[in-house]
Chain A
Amino acid sequence: AQSVTQLGSHVSVSEGALVLLRCNYSSSVPPYLFWYVQYPNQGLQLLLKYTTGATLVKGINGFEAEFKKSETSFHLTKPSAHMSDAAEYFCAVSEGGTSYGKLTFGQGTILTVHP
């Protein structure tokens, strides 16, 4: 069984400040890990993914995440927040190495960016 815990349902930062959204997972097999972003009343858009290889992955809009197996974490960061980053962010996990991956999602973190 897989599970995802996102620490903090709401995170607030100032424009230009570091963004850090936390995600911890549990999985009995090597995981694939994902971050998705959702703007109000829209679907989810993939930000970045980790499957195998390099543990630091870069995504769209300047976001990146680091897979830390020893800490079972996949935290999302961005060095400098922009007003357009305000949205809800979801971390998700699936079983690695499968052809069809059911995703298990965290509960989401709403990011607010203040001017």
Chain B
Amino acid sequence: DGGITQSPKYLFRKEGQNVTLSCEQNLNHDAMYWYRQDPGQGLRLIYYSQIVNDFQKGDIAEGYSVSREKKESFPLTVTSAQKNPTAFYLCASSPTGGGNIQYFGAGTRLSVL
């Protein structure tokens, strides 16, 4: 089945630690996105990538980093500089000329120990 796989489903971070969230898609989509979701705040864009080896900051990129070495993969690293990382993280992808529809993974819930 085609889709977007996020792992792990739950993740715990210790103080001062970097953690990486995985996002893999087999939909052959060019664009991929990372969002952060906090209760009552909707989804906020962290980073997005329209093509391999290229990515742009979204609205809340501070404390996060990404890479896009393969079309299928867009991992997100939450660095120790992100002081409030507890949130639900959602990865999405969209095809070229797809009417801007984004398809979402099931999410990763990150908590701080």
Neighbour of A100 across the interface among B41, B44, B88, B100, CB < 8 A: B100
* B103 CB to nearest A CB, Å: 8
Q: Give the chain B neighbours of A61 by CB distance below 8 A.
A: none
Q: How large is the interface on B (under 10, 10 to 19, 20 to 34, 35 or more residues)?
A: 20 to 34
Min CB–CB distance B58 → chain A (angstroms)? 8
Q: Shortest Cβ distance from B36 into chain A, in angstroms?
A: 11
B104 touches A45 (CB 8 A): yes
Determine whether the beta carbon of B99 is less than 8 Å from that of A107.
no
Interface residues of chain B: helix, strand, loop or mixed (majority): strand
Please tell me if the beta carbons of B100 and A107 are within 8 angstroms of each other in the complex. no
Name the segment of A36-44, A67-75, A78-86 touching the other chain. A36-44
How far is A90 from B88 in the complex, measured between Cα atoms in Å? 15
| With A43-B104, A44-B104, A49-B99 as contacts: A107 and B42 at CB distance below 8 Å | yes
* Max chain B C-beta neighbours (<10 A), residue from A43, A49, A106, A107: A43
The contact string, 1 if C-beta is below 8 Å from chain B, for chain A 43-67, is 1111001010000000000000000
Are B45 and A102 neighbours in the complex by a CB distance under 8 Å? yes
Size band of the A side of the interface?
20 to 34
Least CB distance, B21 to chain A, in whole angstroms: 13
Given A34-B101, A100-B94, A100-B96, A41:B107 Cβ within 8 A: yes
Chain B's closest residue to A52 (CB) is B99
- Which of A45, A94, A100 interacts with B30 by CB under 8 Å? A100
- Residues of B in contact with A (beta carbons under 8 Å apart): 4, 6, 30-31, 33, 35, 40-45, 48, 50, 58, 88, 90, 92, 94, 96-97, 99-107, 109
Q: What would 21 A/B residue contacts be, using CB atoms closer than 8 Å?
A: A4-B42, A9-B40, A32-B99, A34-B100, A36-B104, A41-B106, A41-B107, A42-B106, A42-B107, A43-B6, A46-B101, A46-B103, A49-B99, A51-B100, A90-B42, A99-B96, A101-B100, A102-B45, A106-B42, A107-B40, A107-B41
Extra A-B contacts (6), CB below 8 Å, given A41-B107, A43-B104, A102-B58 = A36-B104, A43-B4, A51-B99, A103-B100, A105-B42, A105-B43
